[in-house]
Amino acid sequence: MLTELRKVTRGWVAMGIIGLLALAFAIWGINDVFKPIRSNDVANGRGFTVPGQEFQIAFDNELKSVQAEAQRVVTKQEAVAANFHMQVVDRLVSQRVFDQLARRVGVNSSDAMVAERIQSNPAFRSQVTGAFDSRTYQSLLAQNGVSRSLYESDLRQGMTRAQLAQALVAGVRPPSSFGRMIMAYETERRTVTLTAITPDRAPAPPAPTDADLDTFYKAQSAAFALPEYRAFTLIEADPAAFEARVELPEEKIRELFEFRKAQITTPERRSFVVVSGGDQAKAQEAARRLAAGDPADAIAADLDMQAISFVQKTKADAPDPRIGAAVFAAQNGQTTPPIQGITWSAARVSEIVPGVTPTFEQARPQLVAELARDEAQTLMNEAVEQFEDARGGGADIEAAAKQVGLRVTKAPLVDARGLDVNGAPSPAVLDQPDLLKAVFAATEGDPTDWLPQAEGASIMIRIDTLRPSGPPPLAQVRERVADAWRMEKIAAGMTAIASELAARVKSGTPFAEAARARGLPGVSVQTLDRRTAQQTPSPRLAAAIFGARVGEVVTGAGGPRGQVLFVAHVDKIERDDPAADPAGVETRRRDIEGPLGNDVIATVQNAARADAKVRLNQPLIDSIVGKTDPNADAGS
């Protein structure tokens, strides 16, 4: 929630030029004229900036979190399309604004408060004593690549924001009347008498005349409008279609195997513990005790060093190349001599997982598939060149495509939803939303350029027929129009019956009696609350019932195709007595404290953002996330 919180010249000629410039500035504004050519901040405001590097780190880290939660690779393009990058900018700006507000009102977190929070974090406690352990604290930060100063600064800022938020909402207390109103709303029950008017109860309308249908169609033509339809020719250049033509000499496969042998080899991995952080003498003692079998944590504690364990890591994963060389030169269970790197260290190997190099026969299927894809891509590119040469010579795209082996598909009329003229899914675009989108982005007549697809494929589209959207001629939809005309007349008759009922009730006749006299079946009395009302066959009727006064008659269409008109008379309205359930009133009052507090914080944060005059450097933001040319000028 907190994270969501928001140069002098002389001469009359020069003076004349300046006057013209001033007039231009007054008309078009000066923001773009005097802004710096390039800025390294993605946002700035009164008293704060958000550096581009900080935004990039935050964007990358949060993208990793999204990927972990989704359990799949989420690309930058997907994230940008979902406006995820702007959410990160907004969060960073909100934090800056909130931090600035905290400083202005004197809210801060002391060193003692930060220290207490760190020491109470279970992650920083010793597994032996259960107490805070500074070596565990520093080791965990180092493993995550976070400096102590950065971690403690972020922690202090977060605690300060929390203090400010708590101070803002500390005195927010909704009045008890709010609880009573919520109770009245939630416990309201309405007793109603119900009946239904079906189409057969209304007088059958006469057959419509041509004039009736013409007038009705002119008034309702939009309801009968057909969508835009397009028929198209699709040319596909797909490497997969050329794989069957590929011939691979055995020597070429073996040549690739030798070239890729190092890449397809699984490297050796080792588990080891490193004790580091001292001088040569301490490293010598650590090596001696490691060789003797002493626990690394105990050695580190006694020598004021750090012990870090590594599980099944490659040589490249070692924290220092010199440590990696020493560890991978030792035998299983052996301790290295003192190692001089950034600091002195000693290490002990506890596990060796040998590397594995596949045989040629094991690797052959993968190598063949790779070579086949490359060769097929080359054959496809050659076919596309021949296709373009044939087009340049005047050949139609269909003939040119068939001549060089490119796939040609003729697709009948389809609308933007992927449906054919009969309303059924069109096989030509089934489960191909990108193709459908490209079809409706193309212009009629001339073929499109080659449009890139997945796996190195490309497509070309030519719109052969374009049937614009709009109402068709009346003769084409005459039966549908006649049915709609009849249903409108029947609906009017049903409404007239309901109006008659309401009039009789208003004159003093009981609703049930008036309904039976009109020959309406199924008259029933029901008591509904807001939950059970939604289970009635007409949601419109439910809404009308709870919006009416006692004695009113309301209606709502429902049932199959909405062709039944339900009518209800509100007999009685009841609610729980707040005086009889003060605990329920208090519970409901307290339920809105959180949302009300959130509104207070959001209001204060929005006011602080407005006061800070926040400005975004959109070109730089887009450049960092790969949305624009990174060499384009960026301004504040």
Read off the pLDDT of each residue in 131-136 and give the average, rounded to a whole number.
Answer: 81
Structure tokens at 582: 């003060």
> Are 41 and 150 in the same domain?
yes
CA nearest neighbour of 90 among 54, 31, 43:
43
Tokens in use for 43? 């946002």
Per-residue pLDDT averaged across 236-257, rounded?
A: 81
Nearest alpha-carbon partner for 273 in 329, 335, 355: 335
Determine, yes or no, domain membership for 182.
no
Place of tokens 């933001």: 621
Give the lowest-confidence range in 6-20, 179-193, 212-226, 309-323: 6-20
Residue 17 scores a pLDDT above 60 = no
- Residue range 296-306: mean pLDDT, rounded: 91
Given a cut of 90, whether residue 156 has pLDDT beyond it is no
Residue 205 DSSP label: P
496 plus 512 within the same structural domain: yes
pLDDT of 319 reads 84
CA distance 2 to 96: 12
Phi, psi of 564 (to 5 degrees): -105, 135
pLDDT of residue 29: 43
pLDDT band at 23 (very low <50, low <70, confident <90, very high): very low
Q: Which residue has the higher pLDDT, 376 or 300?
A: 300
DSSP secondary structure code for residue 419 in this structure: B
Please report the pLDDT score of residue 199 as a whole number.
92
In which band, very low, low, confident or very high, does the pLDDT at 284 lie, cut at 50, 70 and 90? very high
The SS3 assignment for 556 reads strand
Answer yes or no: is 428 within a domain.
Answer: yes
The answer to whether residue 451 sits within a structural domain is yes
Q: What is the pLDDT of residue 426?
A: 92
CATH code at position 323: 3.10.50.40
Q: Last residue of a domain, which of 551, 574, 597? A: 574
Calpha distance 547→540 (Å, rounded): 11
Is position 54 within any domain?
Answer: yes
**Residue range 383-394: mean pLDDT, rounded:** 89
Instruction: Return the higher-pLDDT residue of 544 and 127.
Output: 544
pLDDT higher at 144 or 156:
156
Amino acid at 409: T
Question: Do 544 and 562 share a domain, yes or no?
Answer: yes
% of the chain residues with pLDDT over 90 = 36
CATH number at residue 604: 1.10.4030.10
Same domain, 37 and 63: yes
In which residue are the tokens 């959207």 written? 469
Is residue 257 included in any domain, yes or no? Answer: no
How many domains does the chain divide into? 4
Give the C-alpha separation, 353 to 270, whole Å.
6
Integer Cα distance of 491 and 45 in angstroms: 61
| CA neighbor of 215 nearest in space, from 599, 607, 485, 543 | 485
Residue 45's pLDDT band (cuts 50, 70, 90):
confident
In the numeric block, which tokens belong to residue 217? 């169609």
Structure tokens at 75: 């690309």
Answer yes or no: do 487 and 529 share one domain: yes
Q: Write down the pLDDT at residue 303.
A: 92
Cβ-Cβ contacts under 8 Å for 596 (sequence gap 6 or more): 172, 174
470 against 14, higher pLDDT: 470
pLDDT of residue 94: 85
Q: Do residue 172 and residue 148 come from a single domain?
A: yes
Among 435, 467, 499, the domain boundary falls at 467
Closest residue by Cα to residue 527 from 257, 206, 295, 191: 191
Structural domain boundaries, residue 341? 266-353
Among 293, 321, 353, which residue terminates a domain? 353
Do 29 and 157 lie in a common domain? yes
Count of other CB atoms within 10 angstroms of residue 52: 19
CA dist., res. 97 & res. 76, Å (int): 27
Return the bridge partners of 529, or none: 189
pLDDT, average across residues 617-624: 89
Q: Are residue 564 and residue 502 in the same domain, yes or no?
A: yes
The answer to whether position 472 is within a domain reads no
- Assess whether 152 and 8 both reside in one domain: yes
Confidence class of residue 171 from pLDDT cuts 50, 70 and 90?
A: low
Asked, for residue 261, whether it belongs to a domain, the answer is no
Per-residue pLDDT band at 411 (split at 50, 70, 90): very high
**Pair 556, 501 in one domain:** yes
Residues 85 and 39 in one domain: yes
Instruction: Check whether 13 has a pLDDT greater than 50.
Output: no
Confidence at 169, pLDDT banded by 50, 70, 90: low
pLDDT at site 495? 94
Q: What is the mean pLDDT of residues 289-318?
A: 91
Answer yes or no: is pLDDT of 37 > 60.
no
Per the model's pLDDT, the better-predicted residue between 388 and 146 turns out to be: 388
The CATH number for 213's domain is 3.10.50
Determine the pLDDT at residue 394. Answer: 86
Residue 473 lies in a domain: no
State residue 628's pLDDT score. Answer: 57
pLDDT classification of 626: cutoffs 50, 70, 90: confident
Neighbour-count burial of 250, counting CB atoms closer than 10 A to its CB (0-12 exposed, 13-18 middle, 19+ buried): exposed
Are 165 and 312 members of one domain?
no
Range with the lowest mean pLDDT among 50-59, 191-200, 275-284, 482-491?
50-59
- Tokens 């070109």: give the residue: 619
Calculate the average pLDDT of the chain: 83
